[in-house]
Chains A and B, each alone.
Chain A
């Protein structure tokens, strides 16, 4: 894996401050990362936060390790909603254009591309993964509708006991419903 040195902090702060002031004046029609060291796109949810899911320096150096570890945890273990998911990266770091439409996170001058093109590290996450938050997994909003269609199938509606044991108390039932 190719390593790259981020520019000194002072430069980061300066470019970020400049960009933010531009955005504040309403001159920046489309938010974009203007150069290396300007990591977070103004207007993205990440711009409102102090730091990423781990300390910033750690993320710059090791974000790919976190993502690669998470991908196996998700594919083989089915653990999805943790803080190191690629879905989380995209959701938080995606920039928006003047019409509030999301811009692909790997597009030119956007969050991923700004550094990766400078460091000449090809990333192929987005051959398969969505570049804007679109079509997330099932969520609880639709849970009630689904339960109407297939009563009893949803774990919530079914009091199931283990073989031969007539579900004596909530003790045996509740974890069953929770754990898939």
Chain B
């Protein structure tokens, strides 16, 4: 996990990217004009496998995250079918709240010395070096080429080792049979799950997440979603504009989700 080595690799990658872009610019002029003209069809489903050209991430500005607002959590629930979960009959309410699948948790912090209160949504941090992937005995927990940490539910055996390993308490286990399922977000009993940065949207060519969208719709704009590898993209610009940090940066996981105002 030597940071210096990573940094060198990044530089090299960037250089190659620039070189490739320049070559494409000189060689493929005529074809590219056609592509540019058909701007309407930009959001096409992908046909090539994802690559490390992009690394998806987020900046969450805690100063803008409103107390008592749960727009991002609700949007996430709706997008991924978590609102379709039903409490098992006769189950204790507190137990249910503890066990139901949650991809985003609203966390409220108070500094006891000063009384300052900070609100933030805590979700899968999409680490570059994810502990959940390290510990998975079947390889179900994996990091996609574009930096999204996901669970392959086809081979997840539900051992929950990853839940133990995650420093952010980001993962949930599905305890009950799932009766109502959404086509875009398959989920079923016996598997672990967590935020996947609305991967179905990204694959369709839409670079937003439900939470970022909902936050913007509420007028808070606390969540900026984007590509960490794109220096001129909205995320990198937002990251450059104000100080920000990772939660538990001492673990050197190089998270994809960053927080400002912490």
Distance, CA A154 to CA B153, complexed state (A): 29
**Which of B94-102, B117-125, B178-186, B245-253 lies at the binding interface?**
B178-186
Q: Which interface residue of B17, B81, B189, B204 has the most chain A CB atoms within 10 A?
A: B204
Q: Are A80 and B204 in contact (CB under 8 A)?
A: yes
Within 8 A of A (CB), among B133-154: 142, 144, 146, 150, 152-154
Residue of B nearest to A131 (CB): B181
B50 at the interface (CB under 8 A from A): yes
Q: Which interface residue of A74, A143, A171 has the most chain B CB atoms within 10 A?
A: A171
Over the window 156-168 of chain A, the binary record of Cβ atoms lying under 8 Å from chain B Cβ atoms (1 yes, 0 no) is 1010111111001
Which residues on the B side are within 8 Å of A25 (C-beta)? none
Q: Are B213 and A179 in contact (CB under 8 A)?
A: no
Q: Which of B32, B142, B181, B201 contacts A169 (CB 8 A)?
A: B32
Q: Are A154 and B232 in contact (CB under 8 A)?
A: no
Over the window 39-74 of chain B, the binary record of Cβ atoms lying under 8 Å from chain A Cβ atoms (1 yes, 0 no) is 100111111111101100000000000000000000
Q: Are A180 and B205 in contact (CB under 8 A)?
A: yes
Which residues on the B side are within 8 Å of A90 (C-beta)? 183
Which residues on the A side are within 8 Å of B54 (C-beta)? 180
Distance, CA A171 to CA B32, complexed state (A): 5
Distance, CA A171 to CA B225, complexed state (A): 25
Residue of B nearest to A170 (CB): B36
Query: With contacts A79-B46, A140-B43, A174-B35 known, is A135 near B17, CB below 8 A?
Result: no
Distance, CA A167 to CA B207, complexed state (A): 20
A138 at the interface (CB under 8 A from B): yes
Q: How far is the CB of B155 from chain A (nearest CB, A)?
A: 9
A130 at the interface (CB under 8 A from B): yes
Query: With contacts A160-B232, A180-B46 known, is A172 near B21, CB below 8 A?
Result: yes
Total contacts A-B at CB 8 Å: 177
Q: Which interface residue of A76, A78, A146 has the most chain B CB atoms within 10 A?
A: A78
Q: Which of B144, B201, B212, B231 contacts A137 (CB 8 A)?
A: B201
Q: How far is the CB of B230 from chain A (nearest CB, A)?
A: 6
Number of interface residues of A (CB under 8 A): 57
Q: Are B42 and A177 in contact (CB under 8 A)?
A: yes
Residue of B nearest to A146 (CB): B208
Q: Are A171 and B46 in contact (CB under 8 A)?
A: no
Number of interface residues of B (CB under 8 A): 69
Query: With contacts A76-B144, A81-B45, A131-B181 known, is A150 near B212, CB below 8 A?
Result: yes
Q: Which of B17, B24, B81, B186 contacts A171 (CB 8 A)?
A: B24
Distance, CA A73 to CA B203, complexed state (A): 12
Q: Which of B18, B46, B50 contacts A163 (CB 8 A)?
A: B18
Distance, CA A180 to CA B55, complexed state (A): 9
Distance, CA A133 to CA B29, complexed state (A): 42
Which residues on the A side are within 8 Å of B24 (C-beta)? 171-172, 175
Distance, CA A40 to CA B261, complexed state (A): 58
B132 at the interface (CB under 8 A from A): no
Which residues on the A side are within 8 Å of B50 (C-beta)? 77-78, 180
Query: With contacts A153-B225, A163-B14, A170-B33 known, is A75 near B154, CB below 8 A?
Result: yes
Which residues on the B side are within 8 Å of A178 (C-beta)? 35, 42, 44, 205
Q: Are B42 and A155 in contact (CB under 8 A)?
A: yes
Which residues on the A side are within 8 Å of B178 (C-beta)? 127-128
Which residues on the A side are within 8 Å of B35 (C-beta)? 170, 174-175, 178
Query: With contacts A146-B213, A150-B208 known, is A135 near B45, CB below 8 A?
Result: no
Q: How far is the CB of A70 from chain B (nearest CB, A)?
A: 11
Q: Which of A79, A133, A154, A173 contacts B208 (CB 8 A)?
A: A154
A87 at the interface (CB under 8 A from B): yes
Q: How far is the CB of A173 from chain B (nearest CB, A)?
A: 7
Distance, CA A169 to CA B178, complexed state (A): 50
Q: How far is the CB of A19 from chain B (nearest CB, A)?
A: 27
Distance, CA A90 to CA B154, complexed state (A): 18
Binding site for B on A (CB under 8 A): 71-82, 87, 90, 126-131, 133-140, 143, 146, 149-150, 152-156, 158, 160-165, 168-180
